[in-house]
């Protein structure tokens, strides 16, 4: 088997990173399924590089983006 299975149990406020070419419908489906399992948890799904998430979105998820020296 080439691909491994990874188990992810996201906590409230978790940021889930998915490949940047993930279709919008797949993101919606994943969001719906996660909320069906854990209706009291918040998730932020990021398609692509986490560095592209706005400070406002990160703050809303309970994460606080630090200034970068890059």
Cα–Cα distance measured from residue 36 to residue 24, given in angstroms and rounded to the nearest whole number: 18
Cα of 49 vs its chain's centroid, Å: 11
6, pLDDT greater than 70: no
The pTM of the full predicted model, rounded to 2 decimals, is 0.60
Residue-averaged pLDDT of the chain: 80
Mean pLDDT of the region 36-40: 92
Q: From its phi and psi, is residue 45 left (phi > 0), alpha (psi between -120 and 50) or beta? A: beta
pLDDT at 60: 78
What are phi and psi for residue 66, nearest 5 degrees?
-90, 150
> Residue 67: what pLDDT?
59
């Amino acid at each position: 088997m080439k691909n491994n299975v990874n188990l992810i149990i996201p906590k409230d406020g978790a940021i889930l990173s998915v490949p940047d070419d993930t279709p919008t419908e797949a993101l919606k489906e994943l969001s719906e399924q996660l909320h069906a399992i854990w209706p009291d948890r918040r998730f932020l799904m990021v398609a692509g590089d986490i560095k592209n998430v706005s400070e406002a979105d990160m703050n809303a998820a309970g994460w606080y983006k630090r200034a970068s020296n890059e």
